[in-house]
């Protein structure tokens, strides 16, 4: 537990009794960002989030998530401000983060030398939220479409002939033809309305359907070698065999504070293999190492004896389903599922969902039915 977190917990700030599922997912997302060390790339996202909310979890008062993110963002933003030749531009870009930092550094009584000195005399331009503009190709296509419509209006329609081959004079159709045309138009309108209603029902059902943990590609991985990241003190860069035909993966993990470099060598771990690859301080990371953690400690999720690199790992009841090739970050599938990962009194990793009447607790297992455990953490978060 960091000094800032201890300070925050000692303050008389009433925390919300419960967080909504969306708030839990938001907290899990930022915890994952901090753990993986990919925070520099998320400063713009944080600024947009704080533009619309006083605090990260959309609460009325700061939470532990605010403090954890503040502790990492403060030195980064200080560096941005001090090294920038365009201080006004930096203030403009991160105006909402600066407001949030200033509040928290005063609340937590950060030392004078540790604080970011913010100037309120800088005249910032008015913030403009721009709408996305049409691309040049889309604009050109629209103009061509409009031109085709205009030209088609100028063209004369082809002359119609009746059954005898005689030219049919222009004029109002007879009553029987009009009746037939009205009925056809009415039928088309009803069919279109029914199709739209059916599509809306399917989209609503899909949106309301909870994702299954089977979408996540868990595998046993073997760390062949790990080194310190050359440009990030908190990251290890590991070469991990996950059973892929193309060879081992490169994985960046924010585990320097929790494991020695020796502890990262030649060991089996559980990996998440279908998160979207991310660049972490110049190195592309293509998987994540699964760990259990509480406020003070982090432990590996340990594969059972006899495990091999590439072995499929899944929660009970989902072994026959194939995971997605890659999780779509926009759908936030990982953020919805991860808060349900925890450990039991027996130190087993499980998926816990009280809404699942059939099996509210499903253990993490393999084809042999073995358990995957941590060393000592009970009721811990697993991520």
Kindly report, residue by residue over 314-340, the tens digit of the pLDDT.
Answer: 999 999 999 999 999 999 999 999 999
One domain for residues 229 and 376: yes
Spatial contact of 318 and 355, defined as CB atoms under 8 Å apart: no
The string of pLDDT tens digits covering residues 245-304 is 999 999 999 999 999 999 999 999 999 999 999 999 999 999 999 999 999 999 999 999
CA–CA separation, 337 vs 270, rounded Å? Answer: 17
The mean predicted confidence, pLDDT, of the chain is 86
Span 88-128, pLDDT tens digits: 888 999 999 999 999 988 998 988 888 988 888 888 888 87
DSSP labels, 296-310 = S-EEEPBPPTT--TT
Domain contains 372: yes
380 DSSP assignment: -
Which is more confident, 169 or 171? 171
Strands 341-343 and 283-285: unpaired
With b meaning 16 or more CB within 10 Å and e meaning fewer, what string describes 32-46?
A: bbbbbbbbeebbeeb
Q: Are 225 and 265 in contact (CB under 8 A)?
A: yes
Query: Structural domain tally of the chain?
Result: 2
Under 8 Å between Cβ of 249 and 240 = yes
Taking alpha carbons only, the member of 295, 282, 291, 237 closest to residue 264 is 237
Assess if residue 188 is contained within a domain. Answer: no
Residue 196: its pLDDT value, please? 85
Asked if 251 and 367 sit in the same domain, the reply is yes
**Full DSSP string of 152-171:** HHHSPPPPPB-TTSPBPPPS
Domain boundary among 42, 73, 107: 107
In a domain, 193, yes or no: no
DSSP assigned state of 348:
B
- Which residues constitute the domain of residue 303? 213-382
pTM for this model (two decimals): 0.51
**Cβ(214)–Cβ(323) under 8 Å?**
yes
Half-sphere exposure of 20 (CA within 13 A, CB side): 6
- Among the candidates 107, 127, 156, a domain finishes at 107
Give the percent of the chain with pLDDT over 90: 50
Question: Which residues does residue 381 pair with via DSSP β-bridges, in sequence order?
Answer: 293, 342
Q: What is the CATH number of the domain that holds 74?
A: 1.20.1050.10
- 258 phi, psi to nearest 5 deg: -110, -25
Q: Sign (positive/negative) of CA torsion 364, 365, 369, 371?
A: negative
* Distance from C-alpha of 101 to C-alpha of 81, rounded to nearest angstrom: 13
Q: Which two tokens stand for residue 331?
A: 């759908």
What is the distance, to the nearest Å, from the Cα of residue 222 to the centroid of all Cα atoms in its chain? 26
Structure tokens given for 281: 């301080």
Quick count: other Cβ atoms within 10 Å of Cβ 369? 10
Residue 370 has pLDDT above 90, yes or no: yes
The answer to whether position 173 is within a domain reads no
**Is 148 within a domain?**
no
Q: What is the CATH number of the domain that holds 331?
A: 2.40.50.140
Q: Is the pLDDT of residue 207 over 60?
A: no
Tell me the β-bridge partners of 300. 291
Nearest to 380 by CA among 297, 294, 303, 295: 294
Q: Is residue 308 part of a domain?
A: yes
Q: CA–CA separation, 375 vs 372, rounded Å?
A: 10
pLDDT tens-digit series, residues 177-197: 888 888 889 899 888 888 888
Query: Tokens at residue 50, please?
Result: 């704080």
Higher pLDDT, 30 or 205: 30
Q: What is the mean pLDDT of the segment spanning 208-212?
A: 83
232 burial class (0-12, 13-18, 19+ CB within 10 angstroms)?
buried
Instruction: Tell me, yes or no, whether 164 lies in a domain.
Output: no
CB atoms under 10 Å from CB of 257, counted, come to 8
**Quick one: pLDDT at residue 322?**
95
pLDDT at 139: 59
Question: What pLDDT digit, counting tens, does each position of 16-50 carry?
Answer: 778 888 888 888 888 888 888 778 888 898 999 99
Q: Provide the residue count of the chain.
A: 383
Question: Which of 107, 135, 153 is the C-terminal boundary of a domain?
Answer: 107
**Domain-embedded: residue 207:** no
Quote the pLDDT of residue 151.
54
Q: What is the pLDDT of residues 121-130, one digit of tens each?
A: 888 888 877 6
């Amino acid at each position: 537990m960091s000094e800032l977190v201890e300070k925050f917990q000692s303050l008389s700030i009433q925390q919300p009794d419960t967080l909504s599922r969306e708030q839990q997912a938001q907290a899990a997302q930022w915890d994952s960002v901090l753990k993986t060390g990919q925070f520099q790339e998320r400063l713009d996202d944080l600024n947009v989030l704080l533009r619309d909310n006083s605090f990260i979890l959309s609460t009325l008062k700061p939470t532990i998530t605010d403090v954890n993110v503040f502790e990492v963002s403060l030195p980064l933003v200080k560096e941005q401000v001090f090294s920038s030749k365009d201080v006004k531009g930096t203030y403009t870009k991160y105006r909402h983060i600066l407001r949030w930092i200033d509040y928290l550094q005063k609340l937590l009584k950060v030392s004078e030398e540790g604080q970011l000195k913010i100037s309120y005399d800088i005249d910032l331009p008015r913030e403009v939220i721009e709408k996305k503009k049409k691309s040049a190709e889309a604009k050109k296509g629209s103009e061509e479409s409009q031109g085709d419509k205009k030209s088609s209006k100028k063209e004369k329609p082809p002359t119609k002939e009746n059954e005898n081959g005689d030219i049919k004079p222009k004029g109002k159709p007879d009553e029987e033809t009009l009746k037939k045309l009205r009925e056809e138009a009415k039928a088309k309108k009803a069919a279109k309305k029914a199709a739209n209603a059916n599509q809306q029902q399917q989209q609503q059902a899909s949106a309301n359907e909870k994702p299954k943990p089977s979408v996540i590609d868990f595998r046993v991985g073997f760390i062949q070698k790990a080194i310190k990241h050359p440009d990030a003190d908190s990251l290890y860069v590991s070469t991990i065999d996950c059973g892929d035909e193309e060879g081992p993966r490169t994985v960046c993990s924010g585990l320097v504070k929790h494991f020695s470099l020796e502890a990262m060598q030649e060991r089996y771990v559980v990996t998440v293999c279908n998160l979207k690859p991310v660049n972490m301080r110049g190195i592309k990371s293509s998987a994540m190492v699964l760990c259990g953690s509480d406020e003070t400690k982090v432990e590996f999720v340990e594969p059972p004896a006899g495990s091999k690199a590439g072995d499929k790992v899944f929660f009970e009841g989902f072994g026959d389903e194939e995971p997605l090739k890659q999780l779509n970050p926009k759908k936030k599938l990982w953020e919805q599922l991860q808060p349900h990962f925890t450990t039991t009194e027996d130190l087993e990793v499980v998926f816990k969902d009280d809404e699942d009447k059939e099996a509210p607790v499903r253990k993490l297992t393999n084809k042999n039915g073995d358990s995957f455990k941590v060393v000592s953490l009970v009721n811990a978060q697993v991520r």
